[in-house]
Amino acid sequence: MGIPFKRLLRFLIVPVFGVLLLTGCEEEVNPFVEEDRFFTLFGYLDTASNNQYVRLMELRTEFADAGETSIDAIVTTTEIETGEVVAWRDSLITFGDGTSGHVFVGNFQPVPGWRYQLDVTRSDGKRATATTLVPELEVVDAREPDVGFAGVTQKIFWPQVDFIPFRVEVWYRTLDTSLPSLPFREAVVLYGDAHSRVGELENDGWEIIVRYAEDKEEVSKQLGVSEGAQPILMSMGMRLTMTDDSWRPPDGVFSEEILVQPGTFSNVEGGFGFFGSINQLSYEWTLDPSITSQAGYTYPGGKR
């Protein structure tokens, strides 16, 4: 081997050991990303209740939930319209599976159409915040009833509702003169259930069809009369349990596999989770005598 070979060896040794030094002695690995997010919260305001609930969790770096008995957080809501601040109180709940968690309770009844800001503040000033605008009813359009082979149907159009309601109820208010102390009785028919919603998006609003003939069996059952009986129908109504505008899953579908992705369905700044609101939107209408009769009921003042 001549001189060029030795030179080449020296040429190689320098970069090789240089790389060795550059790679360093780092052996540890931190699997956690440092970010300015510390809390996860889930909850919503309900206009039908005087008590509001929010589940609050601190982000953990240990997989096994140790079930901490205390949480470093102060939770408040602020009514944007009035500036009034409500402090929520913490309660440690033991769930059915044996685990425990912090549920904060706010004692107030939210007002439809008002905006609320939820703040979760740590003792060092770190904060997570979310706002919600409680939905309110503005306009409803009860279309003319249709009489067909399936009996009487009627479309109720909610122009400001652009998403599937969580709950749809139709009530029938009847008059029973045999009970002078309780002359008015209501039968409430639940349309669909939590996992089988009704109605469809139509012209940017939500349209739900009331099917009188299909409801008759349930109404009769609740009133305790035979299906052939024709109760006196005073009025009709529909009640939607409706979420606020931000409570919309991506692609309009509540898919567990998608929504579980962190941040995919979240309106919490400085944290994870979701804070929304719901309201019961109600609308009442009456039927004319002939439709009332064709629907299997008696018009008030009419002959049974």
Q: Does 43 bind other proteins (CB under 8 A)?
A: yes
- Phi, psi of 147, rounded to the nearest 5 degrees: -115, 120
Q: How many residues bind other proteins (CB under 8 A)?
A: 65
Q: Does 179 bind other proteins (CB under 8 A)?
A: no
Which pair of structure tokens corresponds to residue 146? 């249709």
Q: Is 250 helix (H, G, I), strand (E, B) or coil?
A: helix
Burial class of residue 116, CB neighbours in 10 A (0-12, 13-18, 19+): buried
Q: Please pick, from the candidates 160, 169, 259, 286, the single residue that binds other proteins as defined by CB under 8 A.
A: 259
DSSP strand pairing (74-79 vs 232-243)? unpaired
Q: Does 103 bind other proteins (CB under 8 A)?
A: yes
Nearer to other proteins, 61 or 177 (CB): 61
Q: How far apart are the first and last CA of the chain?
A: 120
Q: Please pick, from the candidates 157, 172, 212, 247, the single residue that binds other proteins as defined by CB under 8 A.
A: 247
Binding segment (CB under 8 A) for other proteins, from list 97-105, 115-123, 133-141, 144-152: 97-105
Of residues 65, 110, 120, 63, the one with CA closest to residue 271: 120
Nearer to other proteins, 24 or 228 (CB): 24
Residue that has been written with the tokens 């913490």 in this structure: 90
Q: Does 57 bind other proteins (CB under 8 A)?
A: yes
Cβ pair 227, 216 in contact under 8 A: yes
Binding site for other proteins (CB under 8 A): 1, 5, 8-9, 12, 16, 19-20, 23-24, 26-29, 31-33, 35, 37, 40, 42-44, 53-55, 57, 59-65, 93, 95-97, 99, 101, 103, 166-167, 194-195, 241, 247, 249-251, 254, 256-264, 272-274, 276, 278
